[in-house]
C-alpha cells in the first residue's frame, strides 16, 4: 500500500475530488494548508512597510491505495492539476506499513 499526498492549487480541488469519485477511490483526506516553493508569494504593504507574503494557500489531498493503483492515481492528479505555471504543487508517495479499519478491525488492503 502507498500513501499519495498531493499539494495542489485550491482552484483544482473540485476537479480532483470529482475525478477521485469517478475512479471509485475508497476515501480521501483533505486539508487546507499554506506553503511556498518556487512561486515565492507576493509583496504587500502593512502600515507603510513592505512585507513579503510568501505563504500561499494550497489544498493537500491524501489517499491510501493498493500498489497497483498508484500510477493511475498519480496520472489522474497530474492531468488535472498541471497548468504549466509555477505553483502547480507537488505529489509525494510513501509506503504504508499497515492499515486498520477501526470500526471492523479489518487490516491491510481490505481496510482501505
Reported as a single tens digit per residue, the pLDDT across 28-86 is: 999 999 887 776 666 778 788 877 767 788 999 999 999 999 999 999 999 999 999 88
At 21, is the secondary structure helix, strand, or coil?
Answer: helix
Compute the distance between CA of residue 64 and CA of residue 108 in angstroms, rounded to an integer.
Answer: 11
Compute the distance between CA of residue 112 and CA of residue 107 in angstroms, rounded to an integer.
Answer: 8
Domains of the chain as residue ranges with CATH? 2-111 (3.30.70.120)
At 79, is the secondary structure helix, strand, or coil?
Answer: helix
Compute the distance between CA of residue 75 and CA of residue 6 in angstroms, rounded to an integer.
Answer: 12
The answer on pLDDT for 9 being more than 70 is yes
Amino acid at each position: 500500500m502507498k500513501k499519495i499526498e498531493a499539494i495542489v492549487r485550491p482552484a483544482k480541488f473540485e476537479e480532483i475530488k470529482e475525478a477521485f469519485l469517478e475512479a471509485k477511490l475508497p476515501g480521501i483526506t483533505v486539508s487546507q494548508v499554506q506553503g511556498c516553493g518556487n512561486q515565492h508569494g507576493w509583496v504587500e504593504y502593512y502600515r507603510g512597510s513592505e512585507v513579503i507574503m510568501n505563504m500561499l494557500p494550497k489544498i493537500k489531498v491524501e489517499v491510501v491505495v493498493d500498489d497497483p493503483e498508484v500510477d493511475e492515481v498519480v496520472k489522474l492528479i497530474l492531468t488535472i492539476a498541471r497548468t504549466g505555471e509555477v505553483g502547480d504543487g507537488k505529489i509525494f508517495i510513501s509506503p504504508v506499513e499497515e492499515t486498520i479499519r477501526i470500526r471492523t478491525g479489518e487490516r491491510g488492503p481490505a481496510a482501505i
